[in-house]
A and B are shown apart, each in its own frame.
Chain A
Amino acid sequence: MFTIAPGEDTERAVAVRNPYYWKVDTEGTQLPISTASTTRWSAIPRCFF
């Protein structure tokens, strides 16, 4: 889940764990493991994909 979506900030995007993600590991831990994901970029894209 993005808290700062691509395009909302010129330098970075931030996503946090989706509490409803439908995957778990064999230990029963809900995925994803990381609480958050940050992505920084050095150039401003004209269009994202």
Chain B
Amino acid sequence: MNLSRRHFLAAGTALAGSLALPAWAQNATASNGADLPPLSGRLPENPLVLTPRDRAGKQGGTWNHALVGGGSLSMLFRYQSYEPTVRFTPDWSGVTPNVAEKFEVNDDSTVYTFTLRKGMKWSDGHPYTTEDVQFWYEDIFSSTDLTTTGQTFWFAGGKPAELEVVDAQVFKVKFAEPNGFLPSSSPGPIRTRSRARRNIISNSSTSNIIRMRTSSPRIVAMIAGSHYSSVNAACRKTMFTFRTPNVRR
């Protein structure tokens, strides 16, 4: 479901009379007490609208988890940072835009065009744009220090993809040969991989966006595909804080 910010706000205005707290008054202050812009200034122009499975919720409360360590720590990652550019649908039947507003691919799967959401911001209010993608491509993906093997889904014909930044929201990923794996690059079930082999490219997930801070300066990483490899590479070097648009300090 797509709903522009204008329509979203119009709907919110209609609701305001019946609600004690208008939607955009939520989160009036940050967790550290700092003033925040109104919600309209915090959302992208085209926010992702989720339809509640059961009923709409009210903000508040704490979600408590318990993990037993080891492998189950991946659940922390899944709960807090599964925010790929496009993501699997809850029933695994396809992919749906997530961070990206949309994406397209040409007929032979050599050029993918992603469009980010205009006005989307990191959790500190800094704009999230293709500049962040370019940073990942140049300083993470292309760095042999951080990414030891490269992101295999970003390779085709033995060559790494080329990144072309079109503007602040649009970027293209270009391959030397057809690559149906790019959209399936998020770690997923084998079934999904087999779908990709059949080149049903419209139904899988692509890159993940992670912002890491080692110490200073900040490292912004859009980690595509099996992001674990890059994260692990960084993890071997130093303890780090990972952050995505929804989990950033």
Contacts and interface: CB of A to CB of B under 8 A. Distances in A.
A48 B42 CA distance: 31
Interface stretch (B131-139, B164-172, B193-201, B229-237): B229-237
B51 interface: yes
A40 B65 contact: yes
Interface residues of B, number: 66
B63 A28 contact: no
B68 A5 contact: no
Given A38-B62, A43-B68, A49-B231, A32 B246 contact: yes
Contacts of A26: 1, 49-52, 56
B56 A6 contact: no
Nearest to A21: B246
Contacts of B243: 1-2
Contacts of A39: 64-67, 76, 79
Interface in A1-16: 1-3, 5-8, 13, 15-16
A29 B23 contact: yes
A30 B66 contact: no
B26 A18 contact: no
A38 B8 CA distance: 31
B164 to A, nearest CB: 24
B231 A19 contact: no
A49 B67 contact: no
B63 A36 contact: yes
B248 A7 contact: no
Contacts of B39: 30
A26 to B, nearest CB: 5
Contact of A7 (B31, B231, B240, B249): B240
A7 B234 CA distance: 13
A13 B76 contact: yes
B62 A2 contact: no
A8 to B, nearest CB: 8
Nearest to B120: A22
Nearest to A31: B50
A41 B68 contact: yes
Given A22-B44, A30-B43, 9 more contacts: A1-B249, A6-B76, A7-B239, A17-B27, A29-B59, A33-B61, A37-B79, A41-B73, A47-B236
Interface of A: 1-3, 5-8, 13, 15-45, 47-49
* Nearest 7 CB-CB pairings of A with B: A43-B69, A28-B23, A27-B56, A33-B57, A18-B123, A39-B65, A34-B63
